[in-house]
Amino acid sequence: MKANAYGHGAVAVSRALAQAGVTLLGVATLAEGIQLREAGIDAGVIVMGPLVQGEMPDLAAHRLTPVIYSEDFALDLARVLRDQTVPYPVHVEVETGMGRLGVDQDRLLNLLQAPAFKGPLRLEGLMSHFADADSDDPSYTQSQLAQFTGLLERIRRAGVTVPLAHVANTAGILRFPASHLDAVRPGIGLYGYHHSTNQEADVPLRPVLSLLTQIVQVRTIRPGETVSYNRTFRASRATRVGVLPIGYADGYNRLLSNKGTVLIGGKRAPVVGRVCMDMTMVDVTDVPEAQVGADVALIGEQGAERISAVDLARWQGTIPYEVLCAIGPRVRRLHIY
């Protein structure tokens, strides 16, 4: 559910998933976890990103589950929770090759056998994260998985109980069935996208989000006239220009200037000129349906035409994750499920 459920609206998506039987949700930050609790979501919530010491009392007050990634973190948390009567559930992340958060493998058993885990903390889960599960070469992921399962075996043999071992992101789920273990952590796949475009043929997924707006003004400009900041679009013919009330502050990236395409009346209309903070202009000369009030899909389907976050990502030189996460708070979300 991190990054506002990849832009989809964390509270509504969490409710839908809880209804569908999901018992454990993942967020990246304390504030994201608190948002779910304040909305009345009762499922387990793991905060997978880093936490600083000052955040620990709030974490406990909202029954959020931290992911411990160092011995210092465990000690600090144990201190904050020393008066708890019931041991507090935590997950631990071990580093297997992501090169990001995590306890070093040779410190893991030490950590799990430390006094903190005999007192206020209870190990509920052990996790790691794949760095390269979406690449063509499976060897790095296989090595990460082998390290993780090897560690699991070793610590279980040493008497540590690990109720939930989890490592698989979307690419892991789809491409490495052996990585499913006790729980999985799908992100992008939940929203109908593949981690990489060359996986699309294997498992059909359907994007769940459309990004829609409508035309607020249509004006015809003469040849030689220009559109938007710095006049980067100059009309070569009489051009009908539609104005859309969405801009880069809403997540419609400025790199789509003179590059993006939108759908109106089932036809493609190119973005002309610079995308502004709050508005974007499109060339609707060849789209007679383009009148004030006409529906516009920036991501979505109209008739036989379709624009997905993968297209936007290609036009602006990024990945669909970033396109989705960037959809800003000003965009009203309507959830249908």
Ligand X SMILES: Cc1ncc(COP(=O)(O)O)c(C=O)c1O
| Residues 112 to 151 in contact with ligand X, rule: CB under 6 A | 129
* Helix, strand, coil % over all residues of the chain, rounded to 5: 35, 20, 45
Closest by alpha carbon to 234, among 224, 243, 242?
A: 224
Tokens of 309: 């976050």
175 is in an annotated binding site: no
Which residue among 8, 15, 185, 194 contacts ligand X (CB under 6 A)? 185
Q: Which is nearer to ligand X, 175 or 195 (CB)?
A: 195
Which residue among 8, 15, 195, 240 contacts ligand X (CB under 6 A)? 195
Please provide the DSSP assignment of 250-300 as one string.
GT--GGGTTT-EEEETTEEEEB-S---SS-EEEE-TT-TT--TT-EEEEEE
Beta strand spans in 149-216 (E): 164-166, 211-214
Parallel, antiparallel or unpaired: strands 267-270 and 280-283: unpaired
Which are the contacts of 157, defined by CB distance < 8 A and separation ≥ 6?
none
Total residues at interface with ligand X (CB under 6 A) = 11
Q: Which is nearer to ligand X, 96 or 169 (CB)?
A: 169
Q: Which is nearer to ligand X, 179 or 285 (CB)?
A: 179
| Region from 16-24, 35-43, 113-121, 186-194 binding ligand X, contact rule CB under 6 A | 186-194
The owner of tokens 């109720």 is 163
Q: How many CA atoms lie within 13 A of 39 on its CB side?
A: 17
Which residue among 27, 188, 262, 319 contacts ligand X (CB under 6 A)? 188
Distance, in Å, from the CA atom of 40 to the CA atom of 12, rounded to the nearest integer, reads 11
The residue from 2, 69, 252, 321 that is catalytic is: 2
> Which residues, listed in sequence order, are joined to residue 218 by a DSSP beta bridge?
242
Distance, in Å, from the CA atom of 107 to the CA atom of 155, rounded to the nearest integer, reads 11
Whether 191 is catalytic is no
274 is in an annotated binding site: no
Q: Which is nearer to ligand X, 169 or 285 (CB)?
A: 169
Tokens of 322: 């970033």
| Residues 201 to 240 in contact with ligand X, rule: CB under 6 A | none
Instruction: Determine which helix (DSSP H) or strand (DSSP E) holds 238, and give its type and residue range.
Output: none
The residue from 69, 193, 229, 337 that is catalytic is: 229
Which residue among 87, 186, 245, 265 contacts ligand X (CB under 6 A)? 186
Whether 2 is catalytic is yes
By the rule CB under 6 A, 8 interacts with ligand X = no
| Region from 17-25, 166-174, 199-207, 276-284 binding ligand X, contact rule CB under 6 A | 166-174
Q: Which is nearer to ligand X, 29 or 210 (CB)?
A: 29
Active site residues: 2, 229
Binding site for ligand X (CB under 6 A): 48, 129, 169-171, 185-189, 195
Known binding residues for substrate are 100, 277
Known binding residues are 100, 277
